[in-house]
């Protein structure tokens, strides 16, 4: 029976970065993951995730994301490949940014300037002139920020996993944890559906949408939601090619729509919706894109990107978010069980934070302090608590 200093349950972006951080500190680390890595249903998986600093009025998240961009660049250097593509981020508004309905965009723009960055303000005429794929007259305001882009998400998790193996992390794939082992108020490991047990001095659950089902005390504070993702094959890819076309958010605080330039290897344009999503169970419910999702996409493309309206959709998925009620990460030791730490609550904006997530979770497990950790501690939330992220659409 394998025994570790730290056992990490889950090898998405939360779990694999935690395993790397702890192994680099000299600990014996094991990681369990259901299926292969990256798991095809994991939130970390897909061809791309946005890496951006724009967080509305939340200056701390801006600072975290700023540091993470440096981290993504260092991973590019470490692996001698481009996992993070710095193509910039375009935020588009249907009304002037001073309008109350555009508070997310206005606050993001103001905080970037406050932090010493130089976002480029755009107007109704300059938007389609600079980005011809966009239908003229739809967006009247916005800005472009060059320090942003996207990460090749599934590929990055795969490379981080291989790096963890090279460091000596014992990675066990095809091991689905169904029960934490508890002895006298202490978690001492985990059992899997495959019939194996793994012991540890400390267990860290980074199981994404399955976390509240392994730790039911979290169920009142976390809900699992699914959000439609589309991969479109363009007949005029030059309109969306990097570096001239960036990652974009199309009136996202009101519509939820965002997307990417033509992917460098898959040659598709990914468009998705960062809204409220559908409540679902991570295992019992199908993760399918519904006809009404297709209709909403059609309306969006007709209004915004007419050249994509009749193009082939080659892939769809319903991306699963592990939503805390307030939209913040949940990173802390369990208040009542010894030997257990939780790292979860990506809430649809966690992937970009990969370069700092492992450091935060490892610090929590080790009982160390970290300047960003306090806001993500175990907390009591009323059931009517509102998600505070300002980019989640209406």
Summarize pLDDT for 317-334 with one digit per residue, the tens.
999 999 999 999 999 999
DSSP letter for each residue of 13-32: HHHHHHHHHHHHTT--EEEE
The answer to whether residue 198 scores a pLDDT higher than 80 is yes
Q: Is the peptide bond before 353 cis (omega within 30 degrees of 0)?
A: no
Question: Average pLDDT, stretch 349-359?
Answer: 97
Separation CA 65–CA 267 (nearest Å): 27
Q: Are 201 and 189 in contact (CB under 8 A)?
A: no
Question: Average pLDDT, stretch 108-135?
Answer: 97
Summarize pLDDT for 200-237 with one digit per residue, the tens.
999 999 999 999 999 999 999 999 999 999 999 998 88
Q: What percent of the chain has pLDDT over 90?
A: 93
Tokens of 60: 């701390």
Nearest to 373 by CA among 51, 21, 64: 64
Amino acid 107: pLDDT = 97
Amino acid 43: pLDDT = 77
- Residue 257 — left, alpha, or beta (φ > 0 → left; ψ -120 to 50 → alpha)? beta
Q: What is the mean pLDDT of the chain?
A: 96
Tokens of 55: 């967080």
The answer to whether residue 1 scores a pLDDT higher than 80 is no
Amino acid 278: pLDDT = 94
Q: Are 27 and 19 in contact (CB under 8 A)?
A: no
Separation CA 75–CA 268 (nearest Å): 24
In sequence order, which residues have a C-beta less than 8 Å from that of residue 324 and are 6 or more positions away?
221, 222, 330, 344, 345, 347, 381, 387
pTM of this structure: 0.96
Question: Average pLDDT, stretch 36-61?
Answer: 91
């Amino acid at each position: 029976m394998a025994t570790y200093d730290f056992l990490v349950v889950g090898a998405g972006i939360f779990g694999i970065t935690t395993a790397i951080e702890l192994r680099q500190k000299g600990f014996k680390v094991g990681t369990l993951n259901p299926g292969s890595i990256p798991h095809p249903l994991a939130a970390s998986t897909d061809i791309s995730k946005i890496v951006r600093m724009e967080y509305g009025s939340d200056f701390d998240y801006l600072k975290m994301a700023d540091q993470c961009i440096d981290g993504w660049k260092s991973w590019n250097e470490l692996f001698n490949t481009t996992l993070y593509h710095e193509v910039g981020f375009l935020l588009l508004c249907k009304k002037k940014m001073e309008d109350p309905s555009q508070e997310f965009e206005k606050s993001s723009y103001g905080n970037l300037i406050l932090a010493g960055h130089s976002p480029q303000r755009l107007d109704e005429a300059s938007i389609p002139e600079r980005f011809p794929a966009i239908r003229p007259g739809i967006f009247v305001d916005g800005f472009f920020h060059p320090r942003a882009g996207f990460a090749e998400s599934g590929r990055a998790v795969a490379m981080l996993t291989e790096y963890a193996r090279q460091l000596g992390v014992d990675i066990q794939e095809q091991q689905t944890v169904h029960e934490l082992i508890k002895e006298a108020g202490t978690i001492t490991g985990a059992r899997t559906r495959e019939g194996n047990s793994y012991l540890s001095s400390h267990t860290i659950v980074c199981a994404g949408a399955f976390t509240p089902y392994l730790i039911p005390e979290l169920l009142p504070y976390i809900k699992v939601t699914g959000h439609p993702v589309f991969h479109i094959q363009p007949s005029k890819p030059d309109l969306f090619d990097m570096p001239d076309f960036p990652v974009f958010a199309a009136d996202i605080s009101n519509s939820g729509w965002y997307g990417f330039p033509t992917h460098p290897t898959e040659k598709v344009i990914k468009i998705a919706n960062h809204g409220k999503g559908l409540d679902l169970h991570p295992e019992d419910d199908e993760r399918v894109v519904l006809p009404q999702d297709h209709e909403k996409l059609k309306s969006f493309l007709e209004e915004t990107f007419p050249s994509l309206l009749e193009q082939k959709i080659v892939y769809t998925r319903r991306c699963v978010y592990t939503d805390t009620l307030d939209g913040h990460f949940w990173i802390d030791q369990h208040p009542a069980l010894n030997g257990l730490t939780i790292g979860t609550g990506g809430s649809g904006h966690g992937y970009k934070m990969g370069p700092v997530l492992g450091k935060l979770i490892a610090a929590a497990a080790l009982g160390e302090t970290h300047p960003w950790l306090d806001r993500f501690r175990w907390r009591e939330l009323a059931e009517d608590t509102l998600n505070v992220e300002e980019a989640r659409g209406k």
